[in-house]
Amino acid sequence: MQPIELSQQEIEQSVLQYGTPLYLYNLDVVERRYNALTRSLPSNCRVYYALKANSNLTICHRLAQLGAAAEVSSLGEFMAALKSGFSAESIVFTGPGKTRHELMTAIAKGVGLIVVESVNEAQRVNEIAVQHGICQDVLLRINPRFRSLNSCEVRACSVDESALKPIQMNGQGSSKFGVDEEEAKEAIAILSTLKHLRLKGIHIFTESNVLDYAQLLDAWSNTIEIANQFRQAGHPISILDFGGGVGVPYNSVDQAFDLISFGRELTALFERSPYSYTCILEIGRYLVCEAGCYIASVVDVKQSKGQKFVLINGGVHHIYRTPAMQNASKYLQVLGKDADAQQSVVLAGQLPTPIDVIVKDVQLPETVEIDDTVVIYNCGAYGFNHSLTNFALHPYPAEAAYVQGQLVLVRSRGTIEDFFIHQHLISV
């Protein structure tokens, strides 16, 4: 079950040194993924690291050093990107519902591109650009009429029936993201009257964690077609932002995303397009997911109505996965007990709420006991940054990393005092 990216010895060493709960990363893996991705892509594509996957400053810094640009979706992520070495011009600011304060700060600091998600937002960006006496480059986010099937799901294992079926583009419903494709023409007409905006292109992102490269290619081909229609209508669109979506396997049987074929066929798509584009790929999961694991200790083992529960000194305040992603947490190991007979258990955390179940129905060794170490693999993306951190005031886990073979602490374990910072206790 154990992937090769973090060896058992490295994991044991990190637990000895820093204890649990702990996120452990290997930055060399991040570098390998970045290099593999950039090598396979056509030359008109640039990788923007999506900080929402993991905004740990050391990880961001490594990606900035490697030459990535950055995609941020809040002022917090924008500041994290600047702090870790991305230049403001190399940042694209995405996300619905950006506040005036967020936009003003990003524009004042010279953000490269803002993805506007509504006409209102475009007007707000224009007003702020007027105040700064600049012309701001923007992309318009579009909610496309169609999207491909089977996005976001992590299967429990093995048989990939979806791979046998042809990929279909399905009707896409209403969305808080962007403007509907049907309304995009009108939105572009309004944007072109805003003198302090320069509409450089469009942003379309619907897929997530796609393992079949042909599925992602279909979605991106749809984006190119939409852009081509705008070009035909005379809009000078030169940038396409495809968002992310390159998946990683969360078990030992699924095939990895075929980057080589994807890159080759994407190049062919551009060769067939009557227009040329500069492209942005906002990649999070592929770059950092397999570089990290979450490590916790067993604190209780109990039975309820015939069901075995294993409780760890962590929970959804450290690692929260949506129902579609719950199977991802089955990619785990109890250290030193690989050879033991397995049984189905519920793996849960220590929060006083029934939602704190990390994964239902997972196979764990029958011999699992208090103080065993549980390692959940592929937690480098949407792990630390995707958790319900404030629930029940359990401190943040520490984060450690292997950087060129050396184990270092990249974030100290939180303390209970962290939860009281910025609070004002008013006596009545």
Ligand X SMILES: Cc1ncc(COP(=O)(O)O)c(C=O)c1O
7: its two tokens: 């060896």
According to CB under 6 A, which one of 144, 201, 243, 249 is a site residue for ligand X? 243
Site for ligand X in 99-128 (CB under 6 A): none
Nearer of residues 32 and 231 to ligand X, judged by Cβ: 32
Query: Is residue 223 within the footprint of ligand X (CB under 6 A)?
Result: no
Q: How far is the CB of 50 from ligand X (least distance, A)?
A: 4
3-state secondary structure of 117: coil
Of residues 230 and 382, the one with the C-beta less far from ligand X: 382
Q: Which of residues 338-397 bind ligand X (CB under 6 A)?
A: 381
Number of other residues whose CB lies within 10 A of the CB of residue 425: 5
- Phi, then psi, of 137 in degrees rounded to 5: -75, 130
Under the binding rule (CB under 6 A), the answer on residue 71 touching ligand X is yes
| Residue choice 285, 317, 330, 394 for contact with ligand X (CB under 6 A) | 285
Tell me the helices (H) and strands (E) count for the chain, helix number first.
10, 20
Q: Which of 244, 292, 380, 397 binds ligand X (CB under 6 A)?
A: 244
Using CB atoms within 10 A of its CB, is residue 237 exposed (0-12), middle (13-18) or buried (19+)?
buried
Interface with ligand X, residue 292, by CB under 6 A: no
168-176 — which CB contacts under 8 Å span 24+ positions? 169/218, 169/219, 169/222, 170/146, 171/145, 171/146, 172/143, 172/144, 172/145, 172/146, 172/147, 172/206, 174/143, 175/143, 176/96, 176/97
**x/- string (CB under 6 A) for ligand X, residues 170-209?**
-----------------------------------x--x-
Residue 21 or 244 having the CB closest to ligand X: 244
Q: Write down the least CB distance from residue 371 to ligand X, Å.
A: 34
- For the chain, the distance separating the N- and C-terminal CA atoms, rounded to the nearest angstrom, is 57
Compare residues 266 and 368 and give the one whose CB is closer to ligand X: 266
Contacts of 173 (CB under 8 A, 6+ apart): none
Shortest-Cβ-distance residue relative to ligand X: 244
Stretch 32-61 residues interacting with ligand X (CB under 6 A): 50, 52-53
For the record, the structure tokens of 394 come out as 């359990």
Q: Which is nearer to ligand X, 18 or 257 (CB)?
A: 257
Among 129, 121, 132, 130, smallest CA distance to 98 is for 121
Position 282 contacts ligand X (CB under 6 A): yes
Binding site for ligand X (CB under 6 A): 50, 52-53, 71, 94, 205, 208, 243-246, 282-286, 381
